[in-house]
Structure 1
Amino acid sequence: MSAPRRLTLAAVTVASVMCVYFLYDNLEPSLALSWTHFNRASSWSSEILEPLTSEPRRHSNRTSPAPSPSPAHARNEPTPSRKNILAKPTESPFIGDSYASQNVTPLTECPDGIRSLVAESDFAQLFLGNVPVLQWLTHATPDEYRRLSRYAGANGWGGLSYQTLSDALAYLNSSANAVMFDDWKRRADSSGCVRCAVVGNGGILKDSKKGKEIDGHHYVFRTNGAIVAGFEEDVGFRTTHYTFSTNTLMNSMASYASAGFRGPPKSQETRYVFLPDHDRDYLLMKAAALRTPVEQGRDRGKDPAKYFGKNVTSTQLKMYHPDFIRYIRNRFLPSRTLKTKHRNIYRPSTGATMLLAALHTCDRVSAYGFMTPQFKKYSDHYYDRKYRPVGFFINHDLKLEMNLWQRLHNAGLITLYMRP
């Protein structure tokens, strides 16, 4: 073969390869996340909070009518054009950066509360004030079930039967189940602001002498292995909101029994806030509301009175909405784990969910016992008998959470307890 013919054949071959590469690169769905997507502001529809767009929105304490979306916008899709027909999607389907919306009537008129401060902070473009924090009876509809069944674990209702869902949420049927602070009228004071202490279990609280300060808030949030007895001087003794999943509760009772953890706090003021990442949570919640043993599943036969006391009522039970959990994952804690094969097991830690729920419901938030950059100086828990380093696991991104607490503190949205 002559040299000119060989050069011509080589040129044709290269051109063909480049053509195939171009088509593949533009048609193959991408699993990579567009992280800049989570740094733009949000647009709104009347029913669904839509994906982030380029126009910032300033939030206020008053709800205003929202514009109706175009059909393409409502489907969380770009409007087709000659330029983007072959474009890669900006997010993976499991991300689902659109959420249910509810009208939120401000509980207070706190003049310098979080909602007024966030509008002037770096978080203004991430913060959606109308995402439901809690789920209850009104959310258990066939349409919502179809929408949320696309997302697994704590991020939706995937793997959960509609029967199990509707049977459980039927018992979250009062106004007390729909709001975080159902007894605020009794607690309100002249400050006009809801003050919350959110207490993690970090070793930084040991010898802190913060107990009285913690108990001085209107509401005190705790989670998982929250041992109070014997540590009141450092961590206080009140618990108004206890956050857990059935899995983390059972694990805490097994892991921290030797340190004195016998189960969740039991008092008349305590509300039990389920973080649902499995059907176990719906089944246990229903059993607690009925004061009967769990009727099926892994925990069949277990008595909820062991965990919540014999006198617990359904008005003391609350459950996080999966849209809220997916929202804080997507916008506040978008870990690099979401780009890996472990993406389906990643979620914000139970403590992070609790703290961000407080950020969205309280006027002022003080955080204690959460990880700071000096975490290696302190044991994993304040009740550890000897030093135990913090454990890191793939299902949570604790260092990302630590960085978020620093940013929220620096923005004046929370007050984070730190030591020199």
Structure 2
Amino acid sequence: MALQRRLMLCVLTVGSLLCVYILCVNLERPLSWSIEPLKHFHGFSQGASSSSRDSEEPLDRKSNSDQWTHPPPASTFHPELTVLHEHTRATQTPTLKPQTPTAAEHKPAESTVPGVSKSSSRPDGVDKTRTSTKSPTLKPRLATQAAGPTEPPFIGDIYMSDDIPPQTDCPGGIRSRVSQSEFRGQFLKNIPVLQWAKHVTPEQHQRLSHYPGAHGWGGVDYKTLVETLSVLNSSANWQMLDDWKHRHSKSGCTHCAVVGNGGILKDSKKGTEIDSHHYVFRTNGAIIKGFEDDVGTRTTHYTFSTNTLMNSMRSYAGVGYSGPPLSNETRYIFLPDHDRDYLLMKAAATHAPVERGPERGKDPLQFFGEDVSAEKLKMYHPDFIRYLRNRFLRSNALKTRYKNIYRPSTGAVMLLAAMHTCDQVSAYGFMTPDYKNYSDHYYDSSYHAVGFFINHDLRMEMTLWQQLHQSGLIKLYMHKSIQVDQE
């Protein structure tokens, strides 16, 4: 009996030791986290106190035919910040860590792809104006790819190349200066800024369907693309400055003013200076009446998405915004982040009611005037939007579950598009380091602080404007105290 007890005790002891050993081995293994799939958001907007003083994208609202959810507010994703706003859910999925550098470090070298010609700088000392409207040579094969570690598939840092000759041979233009700046490794001279009829092919649709929202054609069916882009088939649709040959000056260089809606413009008295440029770009809730002395009167290019346009008309009607500026020289540039942009574009070009979607049945002439035509319409290429995100504004938001709704703000796209098409760019009403001293918009009747939301990284954009200004690629309007500090 005593022997049996000893044997039983030994068995229990060995069993206990074995259990402890197994437990220890399991505890030493690294924890495995399952990454929650990211939800695809086709529509979104900023809060009512919106953009960084450069684009107004008010809080989105639900429509009867579709739902548009606004992103949760956040302390913007500054390169060093990844902490979400306190209103964001406390329980979060572990953030992804792409093996790619941040926007400030991301300077990929251009690599040659068969069938694609590399861009070259114009020789200095030539002061001729190009007036050719020859159709650009399309390079449907992918143009340039970042050198470095493998990137997540949603980044897609490889783009179509268009061999579009520059409209001028300006010796001191941005194209010649960028090669001597810190941005030379990021800047692609042959990136298509605008999309038009010849871009839509089955092969390109298959490639771009992998990218959602403004960064591709994900969620937009091929039939809608063909029907919309087929109306954009003239030189006016692929040239940003399509009427340059009628207005060029002896200098042979294009001068563009890009006007945001920031409170820094209030009492600036910059209106006459803004109007003196060859071209004047504006965006979203651009209210002019009553503010002419500060913001000018002309609009040659108006950038918007259908979502931001409708929200601006609702949110700023009380302070004088009734719709896009209307004039003979105004061109309308769609930023397509949903199929509703393609549907409104087609309706405007054909003077027909919108076929379907949230704007179904609406008359586009109420937005763009009776004389709107296909020649006055343009649309940003999704490769261009993705290129801006990847190479200039690669925010840490791309490491979170909200990566699919993050994009450069509408004002940022407008300013960077001007930088890729104009010879000289002056920016007004954009966010500067002293932004807390000014209300969100120049037309605010009382002070409203700038609102930050997770779909844009406004502080990162502010830093970029400072870098571009210091590099001499743009001239940024700042109050004198800021300029002195930088000197």
Q: Same fold (TM over 0.5)?
A: yes
Q: How many angstroms apart in 2 are the aligned matches of 1:239 and 1:286?
A: 22
Selected match of 2:463 from 389, 392, 403: 403
**1:328 maps to which residue?**
388
**1:34 maps to which residue?**
100
Instruction: Please say if residues 47 and 101 of structure 1, whose CA atoms lie closer than 8 Å, have aligned partners that are also in contact.
Output: no
Instruction: Please say if residues 196 and 379 of structure 2, whose CA atoms lie closer than 8 Å, have aligned partners that are also in contact.
Output: yes
Structure 2 CA distance for partners of 1:275 and 1:48, relative to 1, 3 Å = farther
**2:208 maps to which residue?**
148
Task: Map 1:366-381 onto structure 2 (within 5 A).
Answer: 366-381=426-441
Instruction: Please say if residues 146 and 157 of structure 2, whose CA atoms lie closer than 8 Å, have aligned partners that are also in contact.
Output: no
Structure 2 CA distance for partners of 1:39 and 1:387, relative to 1, 3 Å = same
Q: Which amino acid aligns with 2:393?
A: L
Q: How many angstroms apart in 2 are the aligned matches of 1:203 and 1:148?
A: 37
Structure 2 CA distance for partners of 1:314 and 1:158, relative to 1, 3 Å = same
Structure richer in helix, relative to its length? 1
Structure 1 unaligned blocks of 5 or more: 25-29, 50-56, 80-88
Q: How many angstroms apart in 2 are the aligned matches of 1:272 and 1:137?
A: 17
Q: Which amino acid aligns with 2:439?
A: S
**2:111 maps to which residue?**
43
Task: Map 1:255-266 onto structure 2 (within 5 A).
Answer: 255-266=315-326
In the TM superposition, residue 108 of structure 1 has moved relative to its aligned partner by: 0.6
Instruction: Please say if residues 145 and 159 of structure 2, whose CA atoms lie closer than 8 Å, have aligned partners that are also in contact.
Output: no
Higher relative contact order (CA 8 A, sep 6+): 2
**1:184 maps to which residue?**
244
Structure 2 CA distance for partners of 1:362 and 1:35, relative to 1, 3 Å = same
State the SS of the aligned residue for 2:219. Answer: coil
Q: How many angstroms apart in 2 are the aligned matches of 1:144 and 1:312?
A: 29
**1:139 maps to which residue?**
199
Q: How many angstroms apart in 2 are the aligned matches of 1:381 and 1:287?
A: 31
Instruction: Please say if residues 136 and 169 of structure 1, whose CA atoms lie closer than 8 Å, have aligned partners that are also in contact.
Output: yes
**1:384 maps to which residue?**
444
In the TM superposition, residue 372 of structure 1 has moved relative to its aligned partner by: 0.1
Selected match of 2:301 from 241, 246, 249: 241
Task: Tell me, yes or no, if structure 1 residue 345 matches structure 2 residue 413.
Answer: no
In the TM superposition, residue 90 of structure 1 has moved relative to its aligned partner by: 2.7
**1:60 maps to which residue?**
121
Q: How many angstroms apart in 1 are the aligned matches of 2:340 and 2:115?
A: 29
Task: Tell me, yes or no, if structure 1 residue 303 matches structure 2 residue 363.
Answer: yes
Q: Which amino acid aligns with 2:423?
A: D
Deviations 1:28-84 (A, max 9, x none): xx75241167233222325679xxxxxxx995148xx9xxx9xxx9997999xxxxx
State the SS of the aligned residue for 1:60. Answer: coil
Instruction: Please say if residues 276 and 320 of structure 1, whose CA atoms lie closer than 8 Å, have aligned partners that are also in contact.
Output: yes
**1:121 maps to which residue?**
181
Q: Which amino acid aligns with 1:384?
A: D
Deviations 1:241-294 (A, max 9, x none): 000000000000001000100000011100000000000000000000001110
**1:83 maps to which residue?**
none
State the SS of the aligned residue for 2:327. Answer: coil
Deviations 1:309-342 (A, max 9, x none): 0111110000000000000000000011000011
State the SS of the aligned residue for 1:39. Answer: coil
In the TM superposition, residue 91 of structure 1 has moved relative to its aligned partner by: 1.4
State the SS of the aligned residue for 1:367. Answer: strand
Q: Which amino acid aligns with 1:230?
A: G
Q: Structure 2 length as normaliser, TM-score?
A: 0.74
Structure 2 CA distance for partners of 1:196 and 1:47, relative to 1, 3 Å = farther
Structure 2 CA distance for partners of 1:368 and 1:78, relative to 1, 3 Å = closer
Structure 2 CA distance for partners of 1:46 and 1:106, relative to 1, 3 Å = farther
Instruction: Please say if residues 346 and 394 of structure 1, whose CA atoms lie closer than 8 Å, have aligned partners that are also in contact.
Output: yes
Structure 2 CA distance for partners of 1:46 and 1:287, relative to 1, 3 Å = farther
State the SS of the aligned residue for 2:111. Answer: strand
Q: How many angstroms apart in 2 are the aligned matches of 1:290 and 1:98?
A: 34
**1:314 maps to which residue?**
374
Task: Map 1:60-139 onto structure 2 (within 5 A).
Answer: 60-61=121-122, 90-139=150-199
Instruction: Please say if residues 245 and 274 of structure 1, whose CA atoms lie closer than 8 Å, have aligned partners that are also in contact.
Output: yes
- Structure 1 stretches of 4+ with a deviation exceeding 6 A read 13-18, 73-79
Structure 2 CA distance for partners of 1:293 and 1:74, relative to 1, 3 Å = closer
Selected match of 1:394 from 445, 450, 454: 454
Q: Structure 1 length as normaliser, TM-score?
A: 0.86
Instruction: Please say if residues 197 and 366 of structure 1, whose CA atoms lie closer than 8 Å, have aligned partners that are also in contact.
Output: yes
Selected match of 2:259 from 196, 199, 208: 199
Q: How many angstroms apart in 2 are the aligned matches of 1:16 and 1:379?
A: 54
Q: Which amino acid aligns with 1:45?
A: V
Computing the radius of gyration from Cα coordinates, the structure with the larger value is 2
State the SS of the aligned residue for 2:110. Answer: strand
Structure 2 CA distance for partners of 1:123 and 1:287, relative to 1, 3 Å = same
Q: How many angstroms apart in 1 are the aligned matches of 2:259 and 2:146?
A: 40
Q: Which deviates the most, 397-406 or 39-48?
A: 39-48
Q: How many angstroms apart in 2 are the aligned matches of 1:74 and 1:140?
A: 16
Number of equivalenced pairs: 387
In the TM superposition, residue 298 of structure 1 has moved relative to its aligned partner by: 1.5
Q: How many angstroms apart in 2 are the aligned matches of 1:102 and 1:46?
A: 14
Q: How many angstroms apart in 2 are the aligned matches of 1:359 and 1:197?
A: 10
State the SS of the aligned residue for 1:38. Answer: coil
Q: How many angstroms apart in 2 are the aligned matches of 1:167 and 1:316?
A: 17
State the SS of the aligned residue for 1:220. Answer: strand
Q: How many angstroms apart in 1 are the aligned matches of 2:337 and 2:286?
A: 20
